[in-house]
Every structure is written in structure tokens, then in C-alpha cells.
């Protein structure tokens, strides 16, 4: 799931790299979202059939759900570019997608460390830093949006898109929190 999330984050970043956005990337993200839905379902089914699990069942379930939430957030953000027929990428959007790519990669790295039973602290700290960066970026970009944008419809569209991008980083931090909880429980 983490690999699919990393790929979806890269597709989102590629999508907004040009004016107008590359609309086909939203479909590629949707395919990855369906793949993650299948994987989430598969994890839950396996939990019902498996007597002994490497970590607590509720932790596996929480981790699968949190990862699925990240994928859903990326998919929702990408879909808004299509739904709102965005033709020009607003300043700050590309910085958001780069933060999402970096944070998603840190989730992948943290899960690799968790599987190898090596410390995840570096990734967790970096995800927290990136979430704080996303919060600051969100405040700055929203402030500029309300100062510069005169068309109320455009303003509403971009406010929602930027809110979704910031929420995506929040959902990545939620995965990090689940990982930390699992590590603390088994330390």
C-alpha cells in the first residue's frame, strides 16, 4: 500500500507540474486507489482468517485504514482538479504536492524500518516536520489567495483544493502516529 501511495503522490505532483494540469494522471491515481481498496479489504479478510498475527489485530487494522485514508485523500485532491476544470495551477500548489511526495516516501521508509525492526524515529520526525511545513504553507497560500483572487467562484475552488492538499499531509501524519503507537506497544 505504501508503494502505491508513493506512486499516487508522484502522479499528483506530475499532474500539477504543467498548466493546464495533466488530467490523465487523475485516472492513474484512481487505479491506484482501487488497488489500495482491494489491499485494505484483503488485509481485513486475512485478519479474520489468521490466528496469530505479528502485531495486534487492531493495530494492523488501524494501519491499513490510515494508509487507505492517505490514498483516498490523494485521489480526492486529484479529482478536484478535474471536477473544477482547473486550467492554471495556483501558486503554492506545487510546493504542497512536493511535500506530499516527500512525506509519502517517509511513510514507505518507516514501514520498511518497522518490518525490519529497526528505528523509525528519523522518518517519524521528518513526517512531523513536513506536516508543520504544510500547515505553514497552507496558511501562507490561503492568505495570498484571499488577497489576490477577486473571483469568488475561483477562490472557493482553490480554497477547497488547498484544504484537501493540507488534509492529505495530515493523513500521512496519522499513519506515522499509528506506526509510533505500534512501536511503543512492542518496544
Q: 149 falls in which pLDDT band (50, 70, 90)?
A: very high
CATH number at 80 reads 1.20.58.220
Percent of the chain exceeding pLDDT 90 equals 88
**CA distances to 123, 134, 152, 159 from 143, in Å:** 30, 14, 14, 10
Q: Model confidence over 65-95: pLDDT tens digits?
A: 999 999 999 999 999 999 999 999 999 999 9
Contacts of 62 (CB under 8 A, 6+ apart): 178, 181
Range of the domain at 95: 2-185
Distance CA 22, CA 69 (A): 23
Residue 69: all three cell numbers together? 485514508
Q: Which residue has the higher pLDDT, 46 or 137?
A: 137
Q: Is the pLDDT of residue 142 over 90?
A: yes
Q: Model confidence over 41-55: pLDDT tens digits?
A: 999 898 888 766 678
The stretch 111-131 carries a mean pLDDT of 95
Q: Model confidence over 9-42: pLDDT tens digits?
A: 999 999 999 999 999 999 999 999 999 999 999 9
Residue 87: all three cell numbers together? 486550467
Do 162 and 145 meet the contact criterion of CB atoms below 8 Å apart? yes
Distance CA 86, CA 148 (A): 17
| pLDDT given at position 134 | 98
Do 103 and 137 meet the contact criterion of CB atoms below 8 Å apart? no
Distance CA 102, CA 52 (A): 34
From 27-36, 55-64, 162-171, the region with the lowest mean pLDDT: 55-64
Q: Which of these, 78, 92, 75, 67, lies nearest to 33 by C-alpha position? A: 75
Q: Which residues of 89-98 are buried (b: 16+ CB within 10 A; e: fewer)?
A: bbebbeebbe
Distance CA 132, CA 65 (A): 23
| pLDDT given at position 186 | 78
| pLDDT given at position 47 | 81
Q: Is the pLDDT of residue 185 over 90?
A: no
- Count up the domains in the chain and report the number: 1
Residue written as cell 472557493?
156
Percent of the chain exceeding pLDDT 70 equals 98
| pLDDT given at position 52 | 67
| Average pLDDT, rounded, for the chain | 95
Q: Is the pLDDT of residue 154 over 70?
A: yes
Amino acid at each position: 500500500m505504501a508503494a502505491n501511495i508513493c506512486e499516487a503522490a508522484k502522479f499528483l505532483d506530475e499532474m500539477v507540474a504543467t498548466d493546464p494540469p495533466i488530467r490523465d494522471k487523475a485516472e492513474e491515481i484512481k487505479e491506484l486507489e482501487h488497488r489500495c481498496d482491494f489491499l485494505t479489504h484483503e488485509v481485513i479478510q486475512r485478519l479474520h482468517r489468521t490466528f496469530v498475527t505479528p502485531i495486534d489485530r487492531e493495530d494492523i487494522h488501524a494501519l491499513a485504514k490510515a494508509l487507505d485514508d492517505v490514498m483516498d485523500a490523494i485521489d480526492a485532491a486529484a479529482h478536484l482538479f478535474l471536477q473544477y476544470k482547473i486550467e492554471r495551477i495556483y501558486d503554492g500548489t506545487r510546493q504542497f504536492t512536493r511535500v506530499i511526495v516527500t512525506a509519502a516516501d517517509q511513510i514507505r521508509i518507516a514501514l520498511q524500518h518497522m518490518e525490519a525492526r529497526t528505528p523509525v524515529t528519523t522518518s517519524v520526525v521528518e513526517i512531523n516536520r513536513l506536516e508543520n511545513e504544510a500547515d505553514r504553507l497552507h496558511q501562507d497560500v490561503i492568505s495570498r489567495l484571499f488577497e489576490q483572487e477577486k473571483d469568488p467562484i475561483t477562490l472557493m475552488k482553490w480554497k477547497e483544493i488547498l484544504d484537501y492538499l493540507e488534509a492529505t499531509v495530515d493523513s500521512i501524519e496519522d499513519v506515522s502516529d499509528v506506526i509510533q503507537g505500534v512501536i511503543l506497544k512492542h518496544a
